[in-house]
A and B are shown apart, each in its own frame.
Chain A
Amino acid sequence: MAKPFTPKVVTANALLEGDVIYQTATGWTRDLAQAEVLTDEADADLRMIDASQQTDLVVGVYLADVDASAAPKPVHFREAFRAKGPSNYAHGKQEAL
């Protein structure tokens, strides 16, 4: 039996601002909770290809695992830091919270 596919989001950094963004069904968001959750591997591959072609908007596209039991949440601590900001100052995404 195939290994179950861990839900994913497409993430990258914005070209101009450099900050962390996530793909939605129609574009990009800076809020992980708003990201499009991909539960099918073939679908995820297609969305990656789509994102990778948007080189005038984004840099460093990849798929990140998420916990999708409710609104998507990071699985790995690196993604948790990307979604929040650094721990030494309230800079980055947490500034808006």
Chain B
Amino acid sequence: MYSYTEFDADFLAERNAQFRAQVERRIDGSLTEDEFKPLRLMNGLYLQLHAYMLRVAIPYGTLNGAQMHKLADIADTWDKGYGHFTTRQNIQYNWPQLRDVPDMLDALAEVNMHAIQTSGNTIRNVTADHFAGAAADEVADPRPVAELIRQWSTDHPEFQFLPRKFKVAVSGSAHDRAVIKAHDIGLQIVEQNGVLGFQVIVGGGLGRTPMIGKVLYDFVASEDLLPTLEAIVSVYNLLGRRDNKYKARIKITVHENGIEDIRARVDARYALIRPQFTGVDQQMLARIEADFAKPTFKTAPLDSYTQAYDSDPVFRSWADTNLSDHHAPGYAIVSISLKAHGATPGDASSDQMRVMADLAAQYGHDELRISHEQNVILPHVHRADLPALHAALKDAKLATANIGLISDIIACPGMDYCALATARSIPIAQEIATRFDALKLEHEVGPLKIKISGCINACGHHHVGHIGILGLDRAGVENYQITLGGDGTQDATLGERAGPGFSADEIIPAIERLVRGYLDLRSEPTETFLQTYRRLGLAPFKAALYPEARANAA
């Protein structure tokens, strides 16, 4: 993985020293909150409902064991012994005190990590496919270019005060696991006539006005990518609306001006700035690519794996749900579920973090990933090591076999933590998971993605959930709206609103009616919820959700 140069380390040390001084000046009264707030946000520090929150970037979701260990140490030293992994591959600490934050940032710097541009109207942490470098279906590893974009966008002088935040995601596979069509810019590595380049998608986003991104360019050559990105953000920087926060994202700029108009403007800007890119970025990219060289994969007999698979039903169930195809023979990608039934989605205790770090070192070439679905991935594990790995995960309560199933729920922090939230998300996720675990229906239901947001900003990606749940405040009471048929993959689709919302007491039974309705509706056990929805449309699902309405209409 990428290791910091002396330049990177010096930059971070200087930046952390600046922030330390800013915190001191805030505490001694030299800075007002109005002056301090943009400074703390630039360094990832929010003030939430009960406490400060520090959001730490995990660039393109990639970590090594030492970094995960440091995240655990920080959780123990300055927080409450856990961290929350987010849908943008970040980790959030929910309980830091203001005086401690400079020390936390220094601790992060020791392992080449920071919280810069995890907030504010800047280019945020660049996210990527969490199976990058391992997926069997990959054209190329998206992380080197994601790192190049991280370096280009970090402290980019032109892009520190954009009209609004700006999110970039990169995928190297045709199967989109990075929700690239719901990002301000989504990049997909594609091959054309034997040459690798990028399909460039702009103007996607969820939130108040959800939009699926539109293709700006079908193919941009690798050496033209950074100037293309710079041209896009530059056009948005001038054209994006600063008069209305709710219309300030590039999705609105693209929607209001049209993709052709945007393309013409980007073309013109590109022509102007292209000569400034003299190829230095490509030299840097070459060096970064060397850092992401594939590990040396071993060959080993698969007897231990086959034996465990055939004899241990618990292992088999886990292997069936939590493993994905690796490009190297004999290897698998392991998804570690942070969604134990009844637990908070995305939370890991410091002990669990250390277990995962040590297992990555022992069995996984010292690599970990954070997925936007709030799980942890060990991307390179030989199948021969899986029985031992599974046993160790089980001891740490990390062996829940539910990846992609109904209890593998994305949930934003909601009103349990977030100052912007209008309702809670976490308890709804906990109750759905607990309920379906009690019913023992989870595996029969099969692949089903539930995504929950506690406000219209949609951090929980509810628009692209097969079942989306949006928590709102309706006249001083928590109320949950359901959307159906959303999809965050290459077939990106926004869910349709099913009808009136449900109270906190009604939402779990409503989800149960919906899922039981699906079981009755599916043509065969292999037809997934989403396939059934696409075949039949909203009406029969709506009938399952609102039986009274059907009774009244009859």
A interface, CB within 8 angstroms of B = 13, 15-20, 55-56, 59-60, 75-78, 81-82, 85-89, 91-93
Contact = CB atoms under 8 A, between A and B. Distances in A.
Contacts of A86: 50, 94, 416-417, 426
Given A87-B416, A88-B426, A76 B476 contact: yes
B47 A60 contact: yes
Given A55-B33, A77-B477, A87-B426, A16 B416 contact: no
Interface centre among B99, B344, B415, B473 (most CB of A within 10 A): B415
B23 to A, nearest CB: 10
7 contacts: A13-B51, A16-B99, A77-B415, A82-B49, A86-B50, A89-B80, A91-B80
Contact of B50 (A16, A20, A56): A20
Contacts of A75: 476
Contacts of B95: 91
A18 B51 contact: yes
Contacts of B476: 75-77
Nearest to B478: A77
Interface in B364-379: none
A82 B47 CA distance: 13
Interface residues of B, number: 31
A59 B51 contact: no
Interface of B: 26-27, 29, 32-33, 47-52, 80, 94-99, 344, 347, 415-417, 424, 426-427, 430, 473, 476-478
Contacts of A77: 415, 473, 476-478
A81 B49 contact: yes
B97 A18 contact: yes
A97 to B, nearest CB: 14
Nearest to B422: A78
B427 A87 contact: yes
Contacts of B97: 16-18
A88 B94 CA distance: 12
A88 B416 contact: yes
A22 to B, nearest CB: 14
B51 A17 contact: yes
Contacts of A81: 49, 415-416, 424
B421 to A, nearest CB: 8
A13 B324 CA distance: 45
B33 to A, nearest CB: 5
A76 B32 CA distance: 30
A62 B415 CA distance: 18
A89 to B, nearest CB: 8
Nearest to B45: A18
A87 B454 CA distance: 14
B430 A16 contact: no
B49 A59 contact: no
A76 to B, nearest CB: 6
A56 B50 CA distance: 18
Contact of A59 (B33, B94, B416, B430): B33
A86 to B, nearest CB: 4
